[in-house]
Amino acid sequence: NAGVTQTPKFQVLKTGQSMTLQCAQDMNHNSMYWYRQDPGMGLRLIYYSASEGTTDKGEVPNGYNVSRLNKREFSLRLESAAPSQTSVYFCASSEDKGTGGLWSGDEQYFGPGTRLTVT
């Protein structure tokens, strides 16, 4: 199992450019998440998808869009990059559904991260 994979690992963009960060998991997890990590700020939730076909905003969604392409894949798009979006981006997944579809609050498995610089 590869777990959670992210591409690319590094990216430099100019202000105004667009790009999509890709995330895939092979653990058959229901929920997927995108976080950003900035120095001294911890990780902050951008968007999440509790199940295939659903997405919801997190704490810092402005400037981003997401697509839950299927159960495995959850992409994050920056339509017009800004220097404030310079950050390390982490994708995560979790099972979150136990017996009978009840929420099980499982741990999240994180990808290796994408370091994005916007100049």
Partner 1 sequence: AQKVTQAQTEISVVEKEDVTLDCVYETRDTTYYLFWYKQPPSGELVFLIRRNSFDEQNEISGRYSWNFQKSTSSFNFTITASQVVDSAVYFCALILLDSGGGADGLTFGKGTHLIIQP
Closest approach of Cβ 45 to partner 1, in Å? 4
Which residue matches tokens 């895939």?
A: 24
Q: Which of 27, 2, 9, 26 is nearest to 90 (CA)?
A: 9
Closest approach of Cβ 93 to partner 1, in Å? 11
Q: Does 48 bind partner 1 (CB under 8 A)?
A: yes
Q: Does 88 bind partner 1 (CB under 8 A)?
A: yes
Evaluate whether 92 touches 111 at the Cβ level (below 8 Å): yes
List residues near partner 1 by CB under 8 A.
30-31, 33, 35, 40-45, 48, 50-51, 54, 56, 58-59, 88, 90, 92, 94, 96-97, 101-103, 105-110, 112-113
